[in-house]
Amino acid sequence: METINRGLRQDTFKEIVLDFNNAPFAQLAGFKLTEVGNGTATIELQAERKLLNSANILHGGVSAALCDTAMGFAVKSLGTISIVTAEMKINYLVPIKFGEKVKAIGRVVKAGQNLCVAEGEIINEENQVAAKSLGTYFVLKNS
């Protein structure tokens, strides 16, 4: 699956795709970067058995990591080279079932020189918001 460029400079887009493809946890979990634009990123995930909790729904930690990754790459799309998560919260609204394909959409709310705030949501196959998140990112290095 090719990642869609939604208006970024080609060099920035290539850096983001390379960075995502070199992220070990994203690869382990099966995250797929499908779109990236100015202040936005979309990541898809199929809820595989290895990612479920004892109730046979997607583990909350995986959902949180999915939102964190989408929000983080939305921040990176603005040209930040290196960021870390400073704070994040998530609300779980609808359980994600085994085999379900979901997408996480991250959007930058406010970009500062040292801190950026982003929001994320996971959308299920029925177009319902399964989770909603808010994160703060510390910028280590700008381009």
- How many domains, in total, are found in the chain? 1
* 79: three-class secondary structure by DSSP: coil
pTM equals 0.96
Pairing of strands 115-123, 101-111: antiparallel
Task: Report CA dihedral (40, 116, 9, 122) to the nearest 10 degrees.
Answer: -20
Q: How far is CA 13 from the centre of its chain?
A: 16
The contacts of residue 135 (CB under 8 Å, 6+ apart) are: 67, 68, 71, 72, 85, 86, 87, 88, 89, 117, 118, 119, 120
- Domain extent, residue 34, equals 4-142
Greatest distance between any 2 Cα atoms in the chain: 44
CATH number (domain holding residue 66): 3.10.129.10
Mean pLDDT of the 43-72 span: 97
Q: How much is the pLDDT for 81?
A: 72
**Residue closest to 39 by CA, chosen among 129, 118, 104:** 118
Parallel/antiparallel/unpaired status of strands 4-6 and 32-37:
parallel
pLDDT tens figures, 112-129: 999 999 999 999 999 999
The mean pLDDT value for 97-119 works out to 97
